[in-house]
Structure 1
Amino acid sequence: MARILVVDDEIGIRELLSEILYDEGHTVELAENAAQARAARLRARPDLVLLDIWMPDTDGVSLLKEWGSQGLLDMPVIMMSGHATVDTAVEATRIGAVDFLEKPITLQKLLKTIAAGLARPVVSATAVAAARAPERRPDGGLSPLTTVPMASSAEPALMPEPNNSLLGGIALDQPLRDARDEFERIYFEYHLGRENHSMTRVSEKTGLERTHLYRKLKQLGIDASRKKHNQ
């Protein structure tokens, strides 16, 4: 699962998104303004950022530009707003946002957009600029701009043969949520068995707070009772 930074000045939105993402197994960090978001980004690079556009100190589009100019926009950023215009959404996408969510956000739309964002490779603005910059020749002159060759549609790249199963016999030709549930079931049953069904130690190993851990096990249909498994 991913480490997601949620930036929104509304506490209700932050708490709701945090609970949903936590239940999905993600690690969540919250920021209520641009200053907190900057500090969180400098501490560690998140796997994905949910960034509100309208905030009281610095708006989300300005923060997005700032990260891009500093070479810090090397993670997918999904913008959120309930009042943004089409022009604002287009501008955010041009700067580097991978998608835009309009509030109120439905659960299905949220999870689908996050999954797509996490699956999408992101190249920082600094890396793009470096790739496009002409090289300096030994005589001090500049060489012509070199472009990166693109794969031809007539010559498809060689791909490995698909394997429709993973560890534990998980079928990969099924919806993502079903495959993820199967994996999580195997994952939690492994840790429960290894820690002799000690919820404290399983909580520490998996990084889930006990309340969320119990909720997740119940959702997956896993009986965490130590008494039953020691019979």
Structure 2
Amino acid sequence: MATILVVDDEIGIRELLSEILGDEGHAVLLAENAGQARALREQEQPDLVLLDIWMPDTDGVTLLKEWSVKGLLTMPVIMMSGHATIDTAVEATRIGALDFLEKPISLQKLLGAVEKGLARGKMVQSARALMQAQPKSNGNPPSSEQNPGETSVIEVDESPSGRALLELSKLKLDEPLRDARDAFERIYFEYHLRLENGSMTRLAERTGIERTHLYRKLKQLGVDVGRSSRRSSS
């Protein structure tokens, strides 16, 4: 499934989360302080981090900010605390945390947050793969004279990855985070729907989201499943 790093100075919390996440099929890494978390982040490249805010050496928000400044916030991070204020939660979200869980954490909220975090991580990875896989253009307009075997700029742009990159280029980074995030998710799901020829079963398998939640998510984002399917076959 996924590799999840749990960072908490309370051994009881670490053991409980390890047991729950292990039962879900995830590989769980445990750190009791920021120092261990830094080392595991570098060595194991976890898919998701559950990070406690109040720790004795370096608090979670400071560690989160450190990762952000150094460009190491490449995985979703969910903050945890039993005493944090709303201001602290807002600050963590502003820095880059995906979610905030208040202790004691219910099983339903934990698994829901983990599912959302892993889905978000897959979206980011797919976007990076798109950027790396897309052939680079020299910036010149396509020529009407083309050598045999060459791929035209128009053909590249009409591919699923080309369309997705075109839409990604239109994202407005100066708008509210929620709006920008929804726009990105819409592009992500439409891209994968084209790849899967509109199959919701294969889309659920590819994204790791249960079908019922997936339908609800697509409806919320305004993604037309039928329209995306027709696009892929046009």
Structure 1 residue ranges without an equivalent (≥5): 128-146, 167-171, 177-231
CA deviation after TM superposition for structure 1 residue 164, in Å: 4.1
Instruction: Name the count of aligned residue pairs.
Output: 147
Query: C-alpha offsets along residues 162-187 of structure 1, whole Å, 9 cap, x if unaligned?
Result: 32445xxxxx74568xxxxxxxxxxx
Counting aligned pairs with the same residue, the percent is 67
When you count helix as a share of all residues, which structure comes out higher?
A: 2
Match of 1:200 in 2: none
- 1:176-215 aligned within 5 A: none
- Pair 1:162-2:183 in alignment: no
CA deviation after TM superposition for structure 1 residue 45, in Å: 1.1
- Pair 1:43-2:64 in alignment: no
- The secondary structure found in structure 1 opposite 2:91 is helix
Q: How far apart, CA to CA, are the structure 1 residues paired with 2:14 and 2:81?
A: 13
Q: How far apart, CA to CA, are the structure 1 residues paired with 2:2 and 2:200?
A: 23
- 1:24-173 aligned within 5 A: 24-121=24-121, 148-150=169-171, 159-160=193-194, 161-165=197-201, 173=211
Structure 1 counterpart of 2:90, which letter? Answer: V
The structure 1 segments of at least 4 consecutive aligned residues displaced by more than 2 Å after TM superposition are: 121-124, 156-162, 172-176
CA deviation after TM superposition for structure 1 residue 69, in Å: 1.1
Q: TM-score normalised to the size of structure 2?
A: 0.57
RMSD: 2.7
Q: TM-score normalised to the size of structure 1?
A: 0.58
Q: How far apart, CA to CA, are the structure 1 residues paired with 2:200 and 2:94?
A: 37
Match of 2:13 in 1: 13
Query: C-alpha offsets along residues 98-143 of structure 1, whole Å, 9 cap, x if unaligned?
Result: 000000000000000000011114769xx9xxxxxxxxxxxxxxxx
Q: How far apart, CA to CA, are the structure 2 residues paired with 1:4 and 1:106?
A: 18
Structure 1 counterpart of 2:12, which letter? Answer: G
CA deviation after TM superposition for structure 1 residue 149, in Å: 1.3
Q: How far apart, CA to CA, are the structure 2 residues paired with 1:113 and 1:4?
A: 12
Q: How far apart, CA to CA, are the structure 2 residues paired with 1:116 and 1:26?
A: 15
Pair 65,123 (structure 1): closer, same or farther in 2 beyond 3 Å: farther
- The secondary structure found in structure 2 opposite 1:4 is strand
- The secondary structure found in structure 1 opposite 2:19 is helix
Larger Rg: 1
Structure 2 residue ranges without an equivalent (≥5): 129-167, 173-182, 203-209, 215-234
Q: How far apart, CA to CA, are the structure 2 residues paired with 1:64 and 1:165?
A: 36
- The secondary structure found in structure 2 opposite 1:15 is helix
- The secondary structure found in structure 2 opposite 1:120 is helix
